[in-house]
Structure 1
Amino acid sequence: MKCKLVRRVSLLLGVVMVLSLAISQSGKSAMKKVDTDGDGIPDTYVVVQEKKPITPKRQPQAVSADTIQVTDITSTGKEEFTLVINGSLVIKGFKKMSGQKGEWVVMPGYEKKDGTHKDLIYPITKEARKVINEAILHNKINPQAVGPIEITEKTRPSSYAGTKAYGSLIINKSLALEIKVREGKYGDWVTMPSKKGEDGRYYDLAYPITPEATEAIKKAKDMVLKKYKTIK
């Protein structure tokens, strides 16, 4: 009789320990009656912890080299936004405007003397424009997108003193970055899209943040410089 009582107490303590463990863990639990003395008759309730479903990790989504995706967006105040393209290229200076006809996006650039806006960075396909508009107007981005940054150049000679060429670097056949080939005391160089800040200094509107994008832009610049090297 005494042994049986001790065994019952031990089983009760075991149940309490299992209950404590179940409560300390997240997820659902359930009581189940089991056989503990081997006679084939369930005689003790124990807590059975249900296994939590395993949530599969989100896999990176490959992006075609013929398009772009916005992988991140931040607001810099005054309805200005900075976008990250394909996780590789930062572009600043997008603006969200609103009026009687609704909201629209102004591309990075500057105001000319006549009051019109000059785009320095802009989409050249309907798909790219849609991606940018949805990111800024509706905060719709694709943070899992990964893909290459492929750059081609499109330039033309300039007749202005100090400038050999005007043109653009084309990102994935979708986005144009206005550039210039300038002459200087120490040689020619390619200027990226830039804007004058409130402090009077110029800052780049676009710059790479990955080694691959950095190398792609460098190669494109070198190609442009080589093309206009013989022009005096």
Structure 2
Amino acid sequence: MALCLKAFAFGLAVAAVCPLARAAEHVTLKNGFGVDCVRREAVGDKVRLYFVEKGKPDSDENYMEVAAESVVRVETVADVPDPVVEVKATEVKAPTAVTLMTAPTREEMHEMLAHAGAAHNIDEDLLASVVRAESGGQVRAVSRTGAQGLMQLMPGTASAMGVEDSFRPEQNISGGTAYLDLMLTRYHDNVALALAAYNAGPGAVDRYHGVPPFRETRAYVARVIREFNRRKQMATVAQAR
């Protein structure tokens, strides 16, 4: 146990996966997140934070992986709350709630993306590009693998990000942005790697030491970056008029 705690505190590599805790904990990260988990494990220079979805047993497959050095504080909590991610305070006006069956207007979408982007310091155009690539702006989009909503959140990811209903646009965008922020932090703001991890999972990016050689993932990364560049070019042209 001493070896595990040392690796966790200083980000040192360890040869095997070793359990750090079983009690419910609140983990604070450098980027301002506060994440509730049921247990942690050190895996090399990373830490896995495990979650429990409502109505489901504890699973070794339901976890989020972060760099050990990104953890600044761990607190034991009395009970296991619903998984939640706290976001940093922002002065941007909170978006108007959008009902389940109503597609957001362009203005409502702008408000939600601006709010989420400001909370996580992510360019609104990048978020809009991800939404376009993931769902084409369809609120009730569901993939063949079960990903849901505007930013196509898998149920486990949605739960970990504090999303109760992936078909509510403001919740989906908030959760998707929080997860993308984690990927950007993990890959030191390398947008291509973060997008690849968002699409194929960080395990695949780590395994191939870069964007995985999957046709879908490479096409996805290129599509998002192309859309992002298009938006920036349009903004530049508009400003020049």
TM-score calculated relative to the size of structure 1: 0.26
More relative contact order, 1 or 2 (CA 8 Å, 6+ apart): 1
Structure holding more helix per residue: 2
TM-score calculated relative to the size of structure 2: 0.25
Structure holding more strand per residue: 1
Larger gyration radius, structure 1 or structure 2: 1
